[in-house]
Amino acid sequence: MDTNKNSIVYRPYAGEADLPHIMALVQSELSEPYVIYTFRYFLHQWPQLSFLCKLRPPFTELIILCFQELRGGLETLNFGGAQGYHSPNVGESNFEGGVQRLHNAYPNDDPDATPIGAIVCKQSMHRDLANRGYIAMLSVDKQWRKRGIATTLVQKSIQAMKQEGVDEIVLETEYDNYAALSLYESLGFIREKRLYRFYLNGKDAFRLILAVPTDGSSSDDDDDERSHLPPMMRSSRFRQRMARRVIRISAYDDEEDDVSGR
């Protein structure tokens, strides 16, 4: 299915009207049987961290194409075979401004726009040590995969969490979901542990984690000294809290991996 990049738009969760669209996307693509209260738990408390991807109506895309044709026609005017004349009133900034005004005229939450992707997240303190973000659900319609939509949704949520001061971001995905593993690892996530029989269908999961650096928080030498530590313990906020605490941390052992009760 061909599409112009201008036909795909992203926006944050806007309210209860978005809930049926997100539920339909998640329930059709993911294995876990989430109920409406699960969605509301995330979306009502952290609406700014969840995003929806929609396909603009064909009429909007047609108008954008007309703008592009108009640009080409006005840039060079031909008078009866005379030498071409370049219009000084039509330029890059004028055209881009026109397209932006067109986009504003057809808002991203147009009720006729078709939802094709969604991401649901949350953010909270983890054991009073780290501000942890969590990617709970990510789903893209099968017909619209391999177009960078999932990557863009994750990036937008990560950026929103950074603005909220996140130290780290975690998620779980099925151990054999190679597409999801590849996506997250391309964005810097690493596999922290394997969770046996994590899902209701009996499948194992990998927990992935992304350490979010604080701007200008450390030097390269400091990074080398902490390279052996888990991502959570490398963040500047973690070290600041630990300076006011005395906590004995035992060495990590793969055998300590517990079975999720989900």
- List, as one string, the DSSP characters of the chain: ----GGGEEEEE--SGGGHHHHHHHHHHH-SS---HHHHHHHHHH-GGG-EEEEEPPHHHHHHHHHHHHHHHHHHEE--TTPPPEE-TT--HHHHHHHHHHHHHHS-TT-TTSEEEEEEEEEEEEETTTEEEEEEEEEEE-GGG-SSSHHHHHHHHHHHHHHHTT-SEEEEEEETT-HHHHHHHHHTT-EEEEEETT-STTS--EEEEEEE-PPTT---HHHHHHTTTS-HHHHSHHHHHHHTT-----PPP-GGGPPPP--
**Cα–Cα distance, 168 to 94 (Å, whole number):** 42
- Residue 233's Cβ-count burial label (10 Å; 0-12, 13-18, 19+) is middle
Flag whether pLDDT at 179 surpasses 90: yes
pLDDT at site 8 = 87
- Specify the residue for token string 């991502």: 231
| Contact present, 60 and 106 (Cβ < 8 Å) | yes
Give the lowest-confidence range in 15-24, 175-184, 236-245: 236-245
Q: How confident is the model at residue 153, as a pLDDT?
A: 98
How far apart, in whole angstroms, are the C-alpha atoms of residue 75 and residue 69?
10
pLDDT confidence tier of residue 258, bands split at 50, 70 and 90:
very low
Name the token pair of 111: 């009720």
- Give the C-alpha separation, 31 to 259, whole Å: 18
pLDDT tens string 8-59: 899 999 999 999 999 999 988 777 888 999 999 999 999 999 999 998 766 6
Decide if pLDDT at 82 tops 90: no
Residue at 97: amino acid letter: G
Q: Domain segments of the chain: what residues?
A: 5-60+109-211
Q: What does the pLDDT look like over 187-237, one tens digit per residue? A: 999 999 999 999 988 999 999 999 998 765 544 555 555 555 555 555 555
Among 49-63, 67-81, 102-116, 164-178, the range scoring the smallest mean pLDDT is: 67-81
Spell out the residues 6+ positions from residue 182 whose beta carbon is closer than 8 angstroms to its own: none
pTM of the model: 0.66
pLDDT on residue 43: 97
Topology of the domain covering 5-60+109-211: Aminopeptidase (3.40.630)
pLDDT at 78: 46
